[in-house]
Amino acid sequence: MSAATQERSTEEAVLPRPAWGRHLIVLAVLTVLLIPLPLILPPATQAVAVRVLIFAIMAVGWNIMSGFGGMFSFGHAAYFGLGAYTSVWLLVNHGVSPWIGMVAGMVVAALFGVVVGFLALRYRLKGAYFALSTFAFAEMLRLLAINSDFVNRAVGYNVPLRREFSLAFMQFAPGAPEYFWIALFLTVVAIAVSILFLRSKLGRFTIAVRDDEEAAAAVGVPVMRTKILTIALSAAITSVAGAFYTQYYFFIDPEGAFGPSVSIQAILPAVIGGVGTIWGPAIGALVLGPLNDITATLLRNPPEALSFLQGRAGLDVIVYALLLILIVLLLPQGVYGAIRERVRRR
Amino acid sequence: MSRPEGSGPPDAGTASVEELGDSTAESPSSAPSTTRRRPTWALPAIAVGVVAAAVLLAYLRSGSTEVVGQAVVTGILVGGVYGLVAMGLTLIFGVLDIVNFAHGAFLTVALYITVIIVNRFGVYPMFALVVAVPVMFLLGAAIQRFVLAGAIGKPLENQLLITLGLALLIDNLLLLFFGPNPQSVKLPGDTAVPILGAVTTVSRLLAFGVALVLAALLYVLLRRTRLGTAIRAVAANDSGAQLVGIDTRRIYMTTFAIGTACAGAAGVLVAPLVTIEPTTGELFNIIAFVVVVLGGMGNVVGALVGGVLIGLTEQLGALLLPGQSPLLSIFLVFILVLLFRPQGLFGRTS
Amino acid sequence: MSLLSVEHVSRSFRGLKAVDDVSFTVEEGHIQGIIGPNGAGKTTLFNLVAGAIRPDTGTVHLDGRDITGFAPHRVSRAGMSRTFQLMRPFGSVSVLENVAVAAMAAGTSRHDADRLAADVVERVGISKWRDAQSSSLPTAGLKRLELARALACRPRVLLLDEVLAGLVPSERTPVMELLEALRREDGVTLVFVEHIMTAVMRLSDSVLVLDQGRVLTSGSPQEVTSDPRVIEAYLGEEPTDAAS
């Protein structure tokens, strides 16, 4: 290796050999470090932590098809919502455990993703058209849900309260650490899946297709199949967030399941942290989660100078939006992406 | 990288495979081939045919010519305003290649401007145009110059994200300052007006009329003025336009401003017709996108025609699918167009 | 039976015939050159054979198997690889990964792909850039990367689209030597479209001349280059290769 290093001209950027093992170890260490967190944090902060994890799962899922796959999705709420509604419908109507419901939700979301992907890709929608069509699909689901008795119309569903707390039905005392641990478990699995995905044939094909679809086809990569499988995986992961969200907040309705704000929540963390990186979505979620809380507090008890903000809504989204714009303009690779680039070039 | 192959018959190997339309055997029937020649009247004929079929179905569903007639008239009137909004959006896309997710938010700004002017100063709503259009023009110019210009040449996703961010920002700033409570603007003397066997209101007629006038003005601007020619040149080929001395950055700014002004004008026109909330513009945003795709992205005339067609879809759709949101029929059309004719009825031209 | 057999292929665009009733065969282990003046339809023919476009009429057979209209990835799996004239690396990943992806797509397991890729990278002579990000390579390196990727698919037939274009003469010779070695040592059959006459003369066993979409003539390099019709077809052309 060293002889080759000397021959190489200084211009060519050298990529480190992918270190999947290292990423997985970091993940394991982080997990161990985070487990005792709910026992240390006050309940209010715990709620923020859970929100961060939910964002992280959504964003990790989004990142798979949009970051690694290059297929920008503006309608990821479709999968979140399908996960939410599938699990809650099974629970309310058939008493099925939300764990099973979660798996069922993943299947439904993946299937929907396959359909959307197949339709969009078969007709070669790209770029803005593709993003618009994903948005349209999510909106259609929202409208259908609002107008459909099958899923309680705009009223949505309440998760029925149980007499005893149970792991099988994912219900615990309010503010119990179990919620955090479950969310942590799901997030860790999601990130591990994304690491393993990149290491797999499918992941490597996906990146090749993203970089140059025609060249990938020319060397034998089955482009359509690769894209559709990637979308399905992306959908399945995001749907998990929807199912858990419903259990944690005990409620879901069409707006909260399929609304555009949900789609944006799936996009933002990845953009802030770094689209197309492993750790970007999680880092972005870490930034976004507390922001929500800070702005809510600001609105409840604003300092003297900003007293007109008292009790008004909208500040949190304003902060999100400003952050989004600034990051895209100034730091398009996101926080993690930028740091990674710096380290690489040193 | 010099390529030895010069001009000559269209040598498909160098074009992207997507452009050819007829290609790989991934699926049993391939997408429409560009080699098949269709007579130019075919598409408008198909569109007219589809509309006629929809009208017929609506009649069968509702059983009354009056109801259907009403739907058609309202659809066309509403469609005119949709067309105006969409013209601004499609112009922006044609010239700057930006899908402007913030377009609806700009419309909402104009709505609130109208609210302030009418409720504070008691002015006839249409006169708000005098204030709103220049204000929106300047706002659009400023935003393009200071925010969007940073994303030129960057990947598409960056622009999409920025305009998405702008949309959220504007909507929520309005929410913050005006609160969520719905407001309204009344047009004094807004009576029912019988027209072509149906009934409509003065405000709707005015909105349609003024929208058409503005659309015509825009068309004249694009076709007959130097600025318009420069805009069309940049839309067709911006590096070529630079070579002939056009200041493309100024054109980008001006075009975005014009597009935003269109949204602003449409906002003033619909102010008496809708409940005014911070999210009102989002509905128009979605509809404008569908219209633009239907008419052909970048095609200004297509946007107007598409607007009318979508207006009809909305009204007839309400008859054909009662109980469902009229948006559903619009989305169905959207998906169908994306699937079968993504270049829109008229294809891309400026 | 010929390894590659192209029969009566035609293709039009908007009424204009880019390729008109072209046929040729290539025996195993042979090197077939395709030349012609600008606009003769070489690249269209190339794309027809490679599966990037569908012929309007005619067939393409590879080792007796009808591959007409196969999608590019199926053509690749059937044993025919191609390079691109305008280099198309997977820019965000390393040279090794570029080649490894091609190997995996051809059926190599994930386990073996990296090793096989390293071997191919070595063979093609770009080991020094093995871990470099492919988008940062100079033209000569990218050209070889194209070659390496195509070779990683273990093709029976290799289609080369102006593989020497954009290279200075000193860069061309090693590539030509590499191509000869590939045929000699690995038994790869080559079909290449080329403008640079020295390469055509040196490498080809047989040359097909296209003009205005049709076959003008075909034969050995000597026969073809002394044919007055070929010279006339090229008359008025800007010389693309001053040195001979």
What is the per-residue pLDDT across A122-144, written as a single tens digit (0 to 9) for each?
Answer: 766 667 778 878 888 898 898 88
Number of other residues whose CB lies within 10 A of the CB of residue A11? 9
At C224, the amino acid letter reads: V
| Contacts with A325 from chain B: Cβ below 8 Å | 147, 161-162, 165-166, 169
- Domain CATH for B102: 1.10.3470
Hey, are the CB atoms on A317 and B27 less than 8 Å from each other? Answer: no
Q: What average pLDDT does this structure show over A17-44?
A: 86
Q: Which of residues 179-198 of A touch C (CB under 8 A)?
A: none
Residues of C with CB under 8 A from a CB of A: 50, 52, 71-73, 76-77, 81-82, 84, 88-94, 97-98, 100-102, 104-106, 110, 127-133, 136-137, 149-150, 152-153
- Residue A214 sits at the chain C interface (C-beta within 8 Å): yes
Q: Is residue B122 part of a domain?
A: yes
Could you write out the three-class secondary structure of B83-118? HHHHHHHHHHHHHHCCCCCCHHHHHHHHHHHHHHHH
User: Can you give the pTM of this predicted structure?
Assistant: 0.83
Q: Can you name the residues that pair with A158 across neighbouring β-strands? A: A251
Q: Is residue B80 part of a domain?
A: yes
Average pLDDT, chain A: 85
| Contacts with C161 from chain B: Cβ below 8 Å | 13
The number of C-alpha atoms within 13 Å of B243 and in the hemisphere containing its C-beta is: 4
- Minimal Cα–Cα distance from A241 to chain C, Å? 30
- Minimal Cα–Cα distance from A187 to chain C, Å? 27
Residues of C with CB under 8 A from a CB of B: 11-18, 38-44, 46-47, 51-54, 69-72, 74, 85-86, 139, 161-162, 165-166, 195, 213, 240
Q: What angle do CA A128, B238, B161 make, to 5 degrees?
A: 30
Which H or E element spans position C216?
strand C214-219
Q: Is residue B47 part of a domain?
A: no
Chains that touch B (3 or more CB pairs under 8 A): A, C
Superfamily of domain C4-90+156-206+214-234: P-loop containing nucleotide triphosphate hydrolases (3.40.50.300)
Confidence label for B39 from pLDDT (cuts 50, 70 and 90): low
Q: Is residue B59 part of a domain?
A: no
- Minimal Cα–Cα distance from A256 to chain B, Å? 16
- Minimal Cα–Cα distance from B24 to chain C, Å? 5
Distance CA B327, CA A147 (A): 12
Hey, are the CB atoms on C53 and B34 less than 8 Å from each other? Answer: no
Q: For testing the chain C interface, which of B1, B2, B11 should be mutated: the one with the most C CBs within 10 Å?
A: B11
Number of other residues whose CB lies within 10 A of the CB of residue B212? 15
Hey, are the CB atoms on B5 and C14 less than 8 Å from each other? Answer: no
Range of the domain at B290: 65-340
A52 in Cβ contact with A294 (< 8 Å): no
- Would you put residue A220 in left (φ > 0), alpha (ψ -120 to 50) or beta? left
What is the per-residue pLDDT across B171-220, written as a single tens digit (0 to 9) for each?
Answer: 889 988 888 888 888 887 777 888 777 788 888 888 899 999 998 999 89
Tell me what pLDDT residue C167 has.
84
Number of other residues whose CB lies within 10 A of the CB of residue B152? 16
Distance CA B252, CA B151 (A): 12
Report CA dihedral (C123, C129, C135, C138) to the nearest 10 degrees: -80
C80 in Cβ contact with C157 (< 8 Å): yes
As for how many domains chain B has, the answer is 1
Tell me what pLDDT residue B347 has.
67
- Minimal Cα–Cα distance from C171 to chain B, Å? 15
| pLDDT at residue A80 greater than cutoff 80 | yes
Q: For testing the chain C interface, which of B14, B16, B24, B26 should be mutated: the one with the most C CBs within 10 Å?
A: B24
Number of other residues whose CB lies within 10 A of the CB of residue B232? 18
Range scoring the smallest mean pLDDT among B193-202, C74-83, C99-108, C200-209? B193-202
The pLDDT > 90 percentage for chain B reads 21
Q: Is residue B34 part of a domain?
A: no
Hey, are the CB atoms on B17 and C53 less than 8 Å from each other? Answer: yes
Distance CA A36, CA C52 (A): 57
Confidence label for A69 from pLDDT (cuts 50, 70 and 90): very high
| Contacts with C139 from chain A: Cβ below 8 Å | none
- Residue A22 sits at the chain B interface (C-beta within 8 Å): no
A105 in Cβ contact with A313 (< 8 Å): no
Confidence label for A13 from pLDDT (cuts 50, 70 and 90): low
The closest CB to that of B289, out of A132, A260, A332, belongs to A132
The closest CB to that of B25, out of C18, C39, C71, belongs to C71
Confidence label for C57 from pLDDT (cuts 50, 70 and 90): very high
Q: What average pLDDT does this structure show over C107-128?
A: 89
Q: Can you name the residues that pair with A68 across neighbouring β-strands? A: none
Distance CA C169, CA C182 (A): 20
The pLDDT > 70 percentage for chain A reads 90
Tell me what pLDDT residue A16 has.
67
Hey, are the CB atoms on A14 and C132 less than 8 Å from each other? Answer: yes
Tell me what pLDDT residue A6 has.
41
Number of other residues whose CB lies within 10 A of the CB of residue C132? 21
Confidence label for A209 from pLDDT (cuts 50, 70 and 90): very high
Q: Is residue B23 part of a domain?
A: no
Q: Is residue B42 part of a domain?
A: no
Beta carbons within 8 Å of C64's beta carbon, 6+ residues apart: C1
| pLDDT at residue A318 greater than cutoff 70 | yes
- Minimal Cα–Cα distance from B37 to chain C, Å? 8
C231 in Cβ contact with C239 (< 8 Å): no
Q: Is residue B17 part of a domain?
A: no
| Contacts with B34 from chain C: Cβ below 8 Å | 13-14
| pLDDT at residue B294 greater than cutoff 70 | yes
Tell me what pLDDT residue B47 has.
74
- Residue A124 sits at the chain B interface (C-beta within 8 Å): yes
Which residue's structure tokens are 């909330």?
A: B277
Domains of chain A in start order, with CATH, are 44-156+180-345 (1.10.3470)
Distance CA C215, CA C207 (A): 11
Q: What average pLDDT does this structure show over B106-132?
A: 89
At A297, the amino acid letter reads: T
3-state helix, strand, coil in chain C (%, to 5): 40, 25, 35
Distance CA A328, CA A325 (A): 5
Distance CA A203, CA A206 (A): 5
**ipTM of predicted assembly, 2 dp:** 0.85
What is the per-residue pLDDT across C130-178, written as a single tens digit (0 to 9) for each?
Answer: 888 998 999 888 988 999 999 998 899 999 988 888 888 888 888 888 8
| pLDDT at residue B324 greater than cutoff 80 | no
Beta strands at C57-62 and C65-66: parallel, antiparallel or unpaired: antiparallel
Tell me what pLDDT residue C237 has.
54
